Structure 1
Amino acid sequence: MDKQTISRDGTPIAYERSGHGPAVILVSGAMSTGATVAPLAGALSDRCTVLAYDRRGRGASGDTAPYEVAREIEDLAALIEAAGGEAALYGVSSGGALALRAAASGLPVRQVAVYEVPFAVDDADARARAEYTGSLTAALADGRRGDAVELFLSLTGLAPQLIQGARRSPMWSEMEAIAPTLAYDDEVMGDGRVPRDLLASVGCPVLALAGGASAQWMRQSAQAVAEAVPDGTYRALADQNHMVEPAVLAPVLAEFLAG
């Protein structure tokens, strides 16, 4: 990250800026940094001015206690100012929930696109999310960062043997380093259900995306988001899953942002 802006509470937020055209800020999801969305930034940069940033507590950005979702919205306000005073937002997974909350807060957000925000679509999903919140809170309070990461990976559906393999990999220490931010994403997700009252106050166009090869509940969640906002569109990307390919996603986002 070669640039930095200062959020309202004094926290430095690191970002990279590339390309030309309408400004869009890329909001990564849990266990991710700005580097995670860098390939998408590259794919968009010939049509958009793209800001990819490290959310607070990750990468080159700072962190200031105590955490509140409002602080992350203030981070986006600072980035929007750096982008020229207005920008679109693209958020992936729980980063999409943050992008929607920022738009609902009244920031100068032109458009919002989100990809597979994991909102619960039934009571069983909501109970699983509540159980995860309790276990995650306990693990982080006890300093068991590795267990916190494992809880998150289990929530995503990763098989136990693959999780154990990940524990033995070189990347595990990096995952443990940002494990406390799992609590941030959990707070951004609220109770895990689609926040219909909040979404009803989003005043800009919203594009809710999902992968055609993803689980059905992911597509249902995206459809629910599109239906809950005043100006929403749902679209499924054929053959894509939660790890959407930038080459497939970028043209869809560019078309939406140009509109």
Structure 2
Amino acid sequence: MTTTRTTTSADGTTITYDTKGSGPALVLVPAVLSTRAWDPLYAGLLDLLSDDFTVIHYDRRGRGDSGNTAPYAVEKEIQDIAAVIKDNGGRAYAYGISSGGALTIRAASQLPEIEKAVVYDPPFIVDDSRPPLPDDYVEQLDRAVAENRRGDAVELLMTRAIGVPADWVAAMKADPSWAAMEAVAHTISHDGRIMGTTMSGRPLPTEWKSITTPTLVLNGGNSEPFLHTSGRRLADLLPNGEHQVVPDQSHDVAPAAVAPVLRAYLKGSVR
């Protein structure tokens, strides 16, 4: 049975999460735009992994049923994860997809209570194989939301950060999911701040060499080449990093494809 609970972060913000299963806690760290109600990348993982883990799926601040205490700071998102972990035994594994993977790495750098981490296709741009984000990307997002152009913020994310062809966007706007994305458009800049300079075409932060948390970096076999490049470089940079490819999967990884990989890595002994 899935249970909905709340916890309170360090700044007083209410964080709402669903939990299912028993065993070691596994926190699913959502990617950009995702909520508990709309999260196709994590949908089903509570059922698929609940026999082995206490699986936790939370609404990041500003989304769904969680609060949004201003001003925003990446540190507060890390404190949110810490609060969820504290509420569930004080130790946990963490799994993040895309920008959720970047947040997972940043959380692992500060939270020793994360015993193992798994990240899938963190969208780092570490060379010139793909255009970097513009330097004022976050400012453009904030301005669009401030001017109530929420659709423009979503479109900027899609075309510049994710790389969706511009002529596809019109069709996306006709889909009901577009309204769900506009509803959390004010949080897109949060993910921009989490990504920081990691989508600029420059090397990954050298300070990540000090992250000793055992970390599995996953890429989909069908994911774009730049993701494989950055995935391997991240695994090489981390002292306890490993790299693995999930066959036949793209950036939109199927929960059923990644669940066995998560189970095998997290239940294995720490190297």
Q: Indicate whether the TM-score tops 0.5.
A: yes
Q: Do structure 1's residue 72 and structure 2's residue 44 form an aligned pair? A: no
1 CA distance for matches of 2:65 and 2:137? 28
Matched, 1:127 2:132: yes
- Matching of residue 61 in structure 1 with residue 70 in structure 2: no
Mapped contact 2:142–2:186 kept (Cα < 8 A): no
TM-superposition CA deviations, 1:199-250 (whole Å, max 9, x none): 2121210000000111111111111111111100000111100111111100
Deviations 1:20-63 (A, max 9, x none): 22211000100111341231222111211110101011111110
Q: Is 1:228–2:237 an aligned residue pair?
A: yes
Q: Bigger CA drift: 165-174 or 72-81?
A: 165-174
CA RMSD after TM alignment: 1.7
Give the stretch that moved more between structures: 153-162 or 13-22: 153-162
Q: Is the 8 A contact 1:34 1:55 kept in 2?
A: no
User: Which residue identity lines up with residue 175 of structure 2 in the other structure?
Assistant: S
What residue is the counterpart of 1:177 in the other structure? 183
Give the total of aligned pairs: 259
Give 1:202's aligned residue: 211
Query: Could you tell me how far apart the structure 2 residues matched to 1:39 and 1:163 are?
Result: 27
**2-side partners of 1:170 and 1:132: how far apart?**
26
Structure 2 residues not aligned, in runs of 5+: none
Aligned with residue 196 of structure 2, among 190, 194, 197: 190
**Is 1:112 aligned to 2:117, yes or no?**
yes
**Structure-2 residue corresponding to 1:84:** 89
SS in structure 1 of the partner of residue 164 of structure 2 = coil
Separation in structure 2 between the aligned mates of residue 198 and residue 63 of structure 1, nearest angstrom: 29
Q: Is the 8 A contact 1:211 1:236 kept in 2?
A: yes
Q: 1:117 to 1:172 in 2, by over 3 A?
A: same
Verify: 1:151 aligned to 2:156, yes or no.
yes
Specify whether residues 126 and 164 from structure 1 end up closer, same or farther in structure 2 by C-alpha distance, changes over 3 A only: closer
* TM-score, reference length from structure 2: 0.90
- Cα distance 1:106–1:3, how it changes in 2: closer, same or farther (>3 A)? closer
Distance in 2 of aligned mates of 1:122 and 1:105? 27
Q: Secondary structure at 1:130's aligned position in 2?
A: coil
Task: State which drifts further: 27-36 or 10-19.
Answer: 27-36
Matches of 1:41 and 1:224, distance apart in 2: 30
| Superposed displacement of residue 171, structure 1 | 2.5
The 10-residue stretch of structure 1 (84-93 or 114-123) with the greater mean CA deviation from structure 2: 114-123
Mapped contact 2:24–2:53 kept (Cα < 8 A) = yes
For 2:116 and 2:241, locate their aligned partners in 1 and report how far apart those are by CA, in whole Å. 10
1:164 to 166, 170, 177: 170
Percent sequence identity over aligned pairs: 42
Aligned equivalents of 1:178 and 1:17: distance in 2? 22
Q: By percentage of residues, which structure has more helix?
A: 1
User: Normalization by structure 1: what TM-score?
Assistant: 0.94
Does residue 1:101 correspond to 2:103, yes or no?
A: no
